[in-house]
């Protein structure tokens, strides 16, 4: 996974645990794709200050992921729902029973992971 996508997912799940100030800066960098220099100017702080704050946010967010694994679970459940969708797409008069069994299995796997 590329770094920005990973940071976006981490922020999606744990962003609410950052302070308002951290959120403001981090969003500009990760979601709005502004440069360190642009954020520094807009916020009236040094470029190094922005850099350090973002690094600290990354560390905080990664710390939550190490403990709670929400991004990992999310990606896995999304993949399983995708499998269900593909099974549904492939369904025809001949393989219906097989499709239903497949969905049953995947649905049990999702429950396990929740």
Which lies closer to a copy of itself via its Cβ, residue 13 or residue 29?
Answer: 13
> Is residue 85 close enough to count as binding a copy of itself by CB under 8 A?
yes
Instruction: Provide the 8-state DSSP code for 93.
Output: T
Nearest distance in Å: CB 40, a copy of itself: 28
Binding mask 16-55 for a copy of itself (x = CB under 8 A): xx--------------------------------------
The residue to which tokens 């796997």 are assigned: 109
Q: How far is CA 24 from CA 12, 14, 31, 43, 79, in A?
A: 14, 14, 10, 10, 31
- DSSP code per residue over 64-88: HHHHH-HHHHHHHHHHHHHHHHHHH
Contacts with a copy of itself by CB under 8 A lie at: 13-14, 16-17, 64, 67-68, 70, 74, 77-78, 81, 84-85, 88, 91, 96, 99-100, 103-104, 107, 110-111, 114
């Amino acid at each position: 996974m590329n770094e920005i996508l990973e940071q976006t997912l981490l922020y999606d799940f744990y962003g609410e645990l950052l302070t308002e100030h951290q959120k403001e800066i981090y969003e500009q960098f990760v979601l709005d794709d502004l440069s360190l220099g642009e954020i520094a100017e807009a916020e009236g702080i040094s470029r190094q200050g922005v850099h350090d704050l973002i690094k600290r946010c990354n560390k905080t967010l990664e710390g939550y992921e190490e403990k709670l694994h929400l991004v990992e679970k999310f990606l896995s459940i999304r993949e399983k729902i995708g499998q269900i969708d593909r099974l549904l797409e492939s369904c025809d008069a001949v393989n219906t029973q097989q499709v239903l069994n497949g969905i049953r299995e995947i649905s049990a796997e999702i429950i396990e992971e929740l």
